[in-house]
Amino acid sequence: MLDAAEPHRRVAASPHTMLACRALYTMSAFLLLLLALVAGAPPASAAGPTLAVEDTLFTEVPEVLVRAPRVTLDEILGRVARGEARRESLLTDQSFQVAVRLMRDVTGRAEPRLIDETVWRVYRKRPDKVRSLLLRRREDPKRKRRARAGVDIQFAPGMGEDIVNFAFKPEARRDYRYRIVGRDLVGGHVVYRIEFEPRSLLDPFAPNGRVWVDTNDFVIVREEMGFRRSPVPLVLKEIHRMVIERRRVGGFWVLSRVLMRVELTVPFPTLGRSFDMSLQYQHYRLNGGLEDALFEEGAKR
């Protein structure tokens, strides 16, 4: 018991109590520091780069009124007709090599088989000269020699490539409808995609399709076409999409390849029920000055 007159004396706390107080103080300071950091940190964002406020720019682009008239479909069709005619007029003669291949049983479970493959060298000269030489032929060894597929091709003397531009000649405008389905920017210039279809549904021989028009020369560089119904239903069940492509040689657009698939109504001994036909064009020589003697009977080249 302490005497009241006795001066106050400091009673030392136990070591365990002092350690507990220091630990509590240290933990409180740590929690305050953590809260300060959390309060000052930006909110978490989704995965990805984080942009500072000064890196984010806002701007407005004023509207631009285009006063130049848009090229109409009729004007495009006129330019295509003139471009194709110009291409044809600049060619005086040409020679090329074409490989013709015929494959049967291209649909169904049967394995496709080669029927016939021929390679031709063709010479053309204005106004009406043409000559074709058979370089080689490869046939299906399983086929009987008397049963020929008959893939010999007659080449026309003209330079116009009607198989590409038949629907875009001026005289064909009354037989077909046209519409622009797309514009693509290729190599710094526009390529139009134009669809065509026959005006009359009574003509089964008139195809429908789509062409790609290069606006540098306004010529057709690719064509896809087909038939809504078979032109010869007793023999042909369906003519699948036909693809025609051109490539540029010496400043001229010329045929590159033709692909076609045909399905027959009934199987034929030589062709089967379906067949593919392809033509690959290469080794062009344009405006080389072919001699007239080359086109005479019995001339050699």
Q: Closest by alpha carbon to 249, among 283, 213, 290, 288? A: 283
pLDDT (tens digit per residue) in 212-244: 999 999 999 999 999 888 888 888 888 888 999
Distance CA 186, CA 45 (A): 40
> Where does the chain show beta strands of DSSP type E?
93-104, 113-125, 129-139, 176-186, 189-198, 208-214, 219-226, 236-239, 242-249, 252-268, 272-286
User: Six-digit token pair at 32?
Assistant: 């305050």
pTM for the model stands at 0.73
**Predicted confidence (pLDDT) per residue in 181-196, tens digit:** 999 988 888 999 999 9
Better-predicted residue by pLDDT, 35 or 55: 55
Radius of gyration of the chain (CA): 40
Q: Report pLDDT digits (tens) over 118-158.
A: 999 999 999 999 999 999 999 877 765 555 555 667 888 88
Using DSSP, state whether 296 is helix, strand or coil: coil
Domain ranges of the chain: 73-282
Please say whether the beta carbons of 175 and 186 come within 8 A: no
Average pLDDT, the chain: 81
